[in-house]
Amino acid sequence: MHNGTTVTQFIIEEQRHIAGATGDFTSLLNDIVTACKVISNMVNHGALVGVLGSAGSENVQGETQKKLDVLANDVFIRSNEWAGHLAAMASEEMDEIYPISKQYTRGKYLLTFDPLDGSSNIDVNVSVGTIFSILRCPGGSEAPTERDFLQAGTQQVAAGYALYGPSSMMVLTTGNGVNGFTLDQNIGEFILTHPKMEIPADTQEFAINASNMRFWESPVRRYVDECLAGKEGPRGKDFNMRWIASMVAEVHRILTRGGVFMYPMDAKMKDKGQGGKLRLLYEANPMSFIVEQAGGGSITGAQRIMELQPEQLHQRVPVILGSRNEVERIQGYHLEGG
Annotated binding site for substrate: 117-120, 209, 277
Give dist(CA 164, CA 74) in Å, integer: 18
The residues near 321 (Cβ < 8 Å, ≥ 6 apart) are 251, 254, 260, 261, 287, 288, 291, 296, 297, 298, 299, 305, 327
DSSP for 260-321 reads EEEE--BHHHHHHT-S-SEEIIIIIHHHHHHHHHTT-EEESSSSBGGG----STT-EE-EEE
Answer with the entry of ligand AHG, Mn ion, none that 205 interacts with (C-beta below 5 to 8 A by kind). none
Amino acid present at 72: A
Q: Which stretch binds ligand AHG (CB under 6 A): 102-110, 137-145, 214-222, 245-253?
A: 245-253
Question: Edge-to-edge strands of the sheet including 260-263?
Answer: 240-241, 205-208, 260-263, 319-322, 297-299
Query: Which C-beta is closer to ligand AHG: that of 114 or that of 189?
Result: 114
Nearest distance in Å: CB 91, Mn ion: 9
Give dist(CA 154, CA 6) in Å, integer: 27
Q: Which stretch binds ligand AHG (CB under 6 A): 94-102, 113-121, 234-242, 291-299?
A: 113-121
Among 105, 120, 155, 185, binds ligand AHG (CB under 6 A): 120
Chain residues binding Mn ion by CB under 5 A are 63, 92, 114, 116-117
Answer with the entry of ligand AHG, Mn ion, none that 40 interacts with (C-beta below 5 to 8 A by kind). none
Q: Is 64 in the site for ligand AHG (CB under 6 A)?
A: no
Nearest distance in Å: CB 221, ligand AHG: 17
Give SS3 for 227. Answer: helix
Give dist(CA 219, CA 336) in Å, integer: 8
Burial of 116 (0-12, 13-18, 19+ CB in 10 A): buried
Query: Which C-beta is closer to Mn ion: that of 72 or that of 137?
Result: 72
Q: Is 126 in the site for ligand AHG (CB under 6 A)?
A: no
Residue nearest to Mn ion (CB): 117
Query: Which C-beta is closer to Mn ion: that of 64 or that of 167?
Result: 64
Q: Is 114 in the site for ligand AHG (CB under 6 A)?
A: yes
> How big is the site for ligand AHG, counted in residues (CB under 6 A)?
13
Residues that bind ligand AHG (CB under 6 A): 63, 92, 114, 117-120, 209, 245-247, 263, 277
